[in-house]
């Protein structure tokens, strides 16, 4: 065999295995290969196994990467982010520390609506620059694919600008973005007196316009599965003060008719609104948050094909002691993924390893479960488990080299970045903790590991 790249002599190559999410007790089932190697050809994994066995099968190698003392794992997949916004909400963070709640701030016109105002006022150039900076930090922390939601425009042209930014950056940055339309993030200020008018705008105008919108599939870093659609998924924030269950159902049903995959923000604060059973009934790809999900709804989700995405960074960011019931979900046989919920209000964190550390401490996951939830299961929450999420022959070579002797250090250590190397579809894009990919203008981004 001929390989373009050989990563060899890793202390461990560690990966979940399969194309479907690992469920229940199987979530912690990992393949651990001491003194491991991975061979890559034309961007895909050609061979994986002990170094001696892989090298014996190769007759020619273009580039060799020594990984002694490192652990090689799949590239992290972040299946829930609000990536594109302008401004910050540091003042609201201080207010929460003084006792104000998230819902109180939202109802007073802050929270999401404050970011909507800042994002609407920002230029496309500002949005692109701020978002690219966040993507660089994500890449330096080992994330190779992420979902990117709109939702800080909440008006047709403003939401289209966010989609424009997502698609431009997807084409020109190594981090692959999966676009989600979240026009149903909150009721915008101009519709506060008549929320039904905004729901009608979403169903009758915005969703059809997004479904009809197309983007070029060319670009130096375009994902191979890009098909030009403006958004793969439609998401709705079903919550008191946002969208009620009836409104959520109407929006999701309209989206499904137009061919969108479905996602739902469910049970973040208020239990028993019914968003989780609705998501299951409509065949949603994932239902996310699940902090307050009643046991019977959690059991229903666990029996379904819908992935449950839990966001420990959000509870941590809110200073809450209330986390999603991951162990109960796994004991019921559920398919669990974790994500950052990257956003300016409750979880401004670009690090999936930090989510793994939080998941181990507050969701009760083992280090093995946390790794699978951040890779294969996270990929399945985006419908991409057949392409990425594990180190297996035929999948894209999205790989991360960790500067540690054992994969458990990912959950064990926190507050530092252990990512040494990132490989995106067989190309080295982070080396020794520094980004080395070239943008469309030929320039390399600067900056050490954060």
To which H or E segment does residue 41 belong? strand 31-41
pLDDT at 449: 36
CB pairs under 8 A, 24+ apart, for 86-91?
86/115, 86/118, 86/119, 86/121, 86/122, 86/126, 86/127, 86/130, 86/152, 87/114, 87/115, 87/118, 87/119, 87/122, 87/344, 88/344, 88/348, 89/114, 89/115, 89/344, 89/345
> In 79-226, which ranges are E strands?
143-149, 176-184
Specify whether the CB–CB gap between 430 and 419 falls below 8 A: yes
Please give the Cα distance from 348 to 352 (Å, whole number).
12
Segments in 225-332 forming alpha helices (H): 245-257, 275-281, 295-302, 312-317, 326-331
Segments in 173-274 forming alpha helices (H): 195-201, 207-212, 245-257
pTM: 0.96
The tokens describing 400, both together, are 């991360």
Mean pLDDT per 10-residue run, the chain (450 residues)? 97 98 97 98 98 98 98 99 97 89 82 95 98 98 98 98 98 98 97 97 98 96 95 97 97 98 96 94 98 97 98 96 97 98 97 98 98 99 98 98 98 97 98 84 40
pLDDT at 76: 99
The tokens describing 378, both together, are 């996270």
The tokens describing 364, both together, are 């009760």
- Residue 66, strand partner residues: 8
């Amino acid at each position: 065999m001929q390989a373009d790249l050989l990563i060899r002599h890793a202390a461990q190559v560690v990966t979940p295995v399969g194309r479907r999410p690992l469920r229940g007790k199987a979530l912690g089932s990992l393949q651990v290969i001491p003194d491991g190697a991975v061979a890559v050809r034309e961007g895909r994994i050609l061979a994986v196994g002990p170094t001696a066995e892989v090298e014996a099968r190769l007759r020619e190698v273009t580039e060799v990467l020594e990984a002694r003392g490192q652990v090689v794992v799949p590239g992290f997949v972040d299946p829930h982010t609000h990536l594109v916004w302008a401004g910050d909400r540091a003042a609201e963070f201080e207010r929460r520390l003084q006792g104000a709640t998230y819902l109180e701030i939202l109802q007073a016109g802050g929270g999401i609506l404050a970011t909507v105002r800042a994002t609407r006022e920002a230029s496309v150039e500002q949005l692109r620059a701020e978002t690219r900076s966040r993507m660089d930090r994500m890449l330096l922390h080992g994330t190779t694919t992420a979902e990117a939601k709109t939702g800080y425009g909440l008006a047709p042209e403003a939401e289209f600008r966010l989609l424009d930014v997502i698609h431009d950056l997807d084409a020109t940055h190594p981090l692959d973005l999966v676009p989600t339309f979240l026009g149903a993030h909150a009721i915008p200020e101009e519709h506060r007196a008549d929320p039904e008018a905004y729901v009608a705008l979403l169903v009758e105008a915005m969703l059809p316009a997004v479904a009809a919108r197309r983007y070029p599939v060319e670009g130096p870093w375009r994902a191979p599965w890009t098909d030009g659609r403006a958004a793969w998924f439609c998401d709705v924030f079903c919550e008191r003060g946002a969208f009620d269950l009836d409104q959520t159902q109407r929006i999701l049903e309209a989206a499904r008719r137009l061919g969108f995959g479905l996602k739902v923000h469910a049970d973040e604060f208020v239990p028993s609104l019914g968003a989780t059973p609705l998501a299951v009934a409509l065949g949603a790809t994932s239902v996310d948050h699940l902090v307050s999900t009643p046991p019977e709804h959690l059991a229903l989700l666990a029996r379904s094909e819908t992935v449950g995405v839990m966001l420990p960074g959000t509870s941590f960011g809110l200073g809450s002691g209330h986390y999603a019931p991951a162990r109960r979900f796994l004991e019921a046989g559920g398919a669990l993924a974790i994500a950052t919920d990257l956003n300016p209000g409750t979880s401004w964190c670009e690090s999936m390893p930090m989510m793994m550390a939080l998941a181990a401490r507050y969701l009760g996951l083992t280090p093995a479960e946390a790794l699978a939830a951040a890779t294969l299961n996270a990929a399945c929450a985006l419908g991409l488990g057949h392409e990425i999420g594990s180190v297996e022959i035929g999948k894209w070579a999205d790989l991360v080299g960790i500067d540690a002797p054992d994969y458990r250090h990912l959950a064990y250590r926190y507050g530092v970045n252990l990512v040494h190397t990132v490989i995106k579809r067989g190309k080295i894009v982070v080396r020794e903790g520094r980004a080395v990919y070239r943008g469309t203008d030929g320039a390399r981004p600067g900056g050490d590991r954060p």
